[in-house]
Amino acid sequence: MNLRSRLFQFAHPERVEAYRAFDGPKPSFPLGNQGPFLRKPAWQVCDQIRESHGPLALVWIKSRPLLLVTDARLAHAVLLQGRDAFVSEDPLRLLGLLHRADPSLEDGGLGHQEIFRAQEFPPSLVTGSGFDAWFEERMPALVADLEERAQAFAIESREEPQPLFPALLRITFNALTRISLGQELSQTAFDDFVELALGKARKNLGFGTLERREDLHGSPRERLLQAIGKHVSMAQRYPEEGRQDLIGKLLEGDYALTEAQWPDSLLRVYLTTCWPLASHLTSTLRLLSHHPVALEALELELDRADGITSLYPLLRLPVLDGVYQEGLRLAPALPLVGRRIKDTRKVELEGRQAPAGTGILIHLGPLQRDPEIWERPDRMDPARWQREAGRLVDLQEPLELAHASAFRSLPSAAISEWLGKLVLHTWLKHYTVLAGEGLALDHGDRYVNGLRVPASVLARAYERLQRPADAQPAQEESTETEKATKSRSLLPASVRIGLPKALHKAKSQRTPRP
């Protein structure tokens, strides 16, 4: 034991003794085990601790104890079986990583208030009576707008690959504001949204530097609330029949809020939907680039499907649903889930007593790739989510834990699901998006305000030809074949143009066919 470890024990003797039964890396004074979390993405540090100290390890964040859980059985006990003994906690607070670009965001910004209490906003925006007919009427315009943006991305990426995450964040933000407010917010409002969500990390995530106009006043949050409030005020004071926005529809039902409550509620919806969803879609498209069989199966389903005129046919496409769920499983947008033992309780974990108030950090990565639960856990296999006779294909155990943990990676799950599937459907029906070919899944990913953000993922979008209705999906290749062909082109046969050898380094060396 080195001098700093002895000094840590000397400074906190009672706390160290209370957790003597738990194993973990030796803490050093004064940071404990926090140092690696300040230098590397949190999930990578959790993986290293799991390899050295097992699925239940004690970590010290300065003088605060934290139990790291990476075992499916223990996570099931915390998240489901014994959930009454725990309260939700922000992983950033547990790891001591809270930081704000603007001090005014501490109470009303992201993190604990916005992301991890997202379920506190009023009932789902897509389950009220009459919403199916409302969306059926608005869907063509929304799909046309998404198709136009996909075409614009394809044109921009023709010369060189383009950053994918910023494009998808702008697309999801514009789509959701258009649906909820009747029109998209301005570029200034989007800049405020990015600054509020990402803070100083925006430059490293592909958004560049921001030059503000001198006439802007207040914080980004205040300006966003003011921009949203203008639309809400008009809807409240001048009601119209058949309004073209979601506010008008909600005002007709039981979702009535006061004029002061609307802006904050809608901003919370934007923050808990657009940013995590853009991260999830970026990871999903990158996974599809690495799994051509799954991509081909999805393209076949989209070619056979009729035009999407409402939400329900979209949500019932089995391969699209499987691709969406596999993206959540293999690359969760929220990789860490936080809990804290209630002050009035003691919890037993693996026969050891955890004192009241102990923080619990659950790492979703190992749970959703556990070979004891998932067959071929590292493969993107949409078929595993298709139900047959009430059970799931290719799974040895029920999906209760995995399903619960996966959906925790997108706080506004209901809204995120239909909007995310709509973006995937619209883009992949007409284009093949090749993202980060040759890059590992965690290459360049960053941990920003509690979310895993795929940074530096470049992509190209190629217009593709639709397959005949009677075409059959390709058989799944063996693992050996997949490894042997990984360095070659992963481009499906339906695409009319060759794949560059490395999207992130060089342009294509092949000439498009006329």
The domains of the chain are located at: 119-340+347-485
Q: CA of 332: how far to CAs of 220, 279, 326, 430, in Å?
A: 28, 9, 9, 26
pLDDT for res 482: 42
Q: Between residues 211 and 95, which one has the greater pLDDT?
A: 95
Q: Is the pLDDT of residue 422 over 80?
A: yes
Question: What would be the CATH architecture of the domain defined by 119-340+347-485?
Answer: Orthogonal Bundle (1.10)
Q: Is the pLDDT of residue 102 over 50?
A: no
Q: Is the pLDDT of residue 26 over 70?
A: yes
Q: Is the pLDDT of residue 254 over 70?
A: no
- Tell me the sheet residues that pair with 359: 66, 340
Residue-wise pLDDT for 39-89, tens only, equals: 888 888 999 999 999 999 999 999 999 999 988 888 888 887 788 889 888
Q: Is the pLDDT of residue 232 over 90?
A: no
pLDDT for res 423: 94
pLDDT for res 497: 33
Q: Is the pLDDT of residue 100 over 60?
A: no
- Tell me the sheet residues that pair with 65: 60
Please, what's the b/e burial string for 124-159 (b: 16 or more CB within 10 A of its CB; e: otherwise)?
Answer: ebbebeebeebbeebbeebbebbeebbeebbeebbe
pLDDT for res 119: 38
Helix 261-290 with 292-304: angle, nearest 10 deg: 120
Q: Between residues 468 and 461, which one has the greater pLDDT?
A: 461
What is the C-alpha R_g of the chain? 24
CA distance 295 to 274: 24
Report the chain's mean pLDDT, rounded to a whole number. Answer: 76
pLDDT-derived band at 98, boundaries 50, 70, 90: low
Least confident of 287-296, 376-385, 423-432, 441-450: 441-450
CA distance 477 to 77: 37
CA distance 2 to 22: 20
CB within 8 Å of 64: residues ≥ 6 apart: 32, 96, 359
pLDDT for res 486: 35
CA distance 384 to 164: 27
pLDDT-derived band at 242, boundaries 50, 70, 90: low
* Cβ count near 404 (within 10 Å): 15
Mean pLDDT of 338-353: 87
pLDDT for res 77: 84
Residues in the chain: 514
Half-sphere exposure (Cβ direction) of 259: Cα atoms closer than 13 Å: 12
pTM here is 0.82
Q: Is the pLDDT of residue 397 over 50?
A: no
Q: Dihedral of the CA atoms 44, 49, 55, 59 (nearest 10)?
A: -110
Ordered alpha helix ranges (H), 291-338: 292-304, 311-315, 318-330
Q: Is cis: bond before 30, omega within 30 of 0?
A: yes
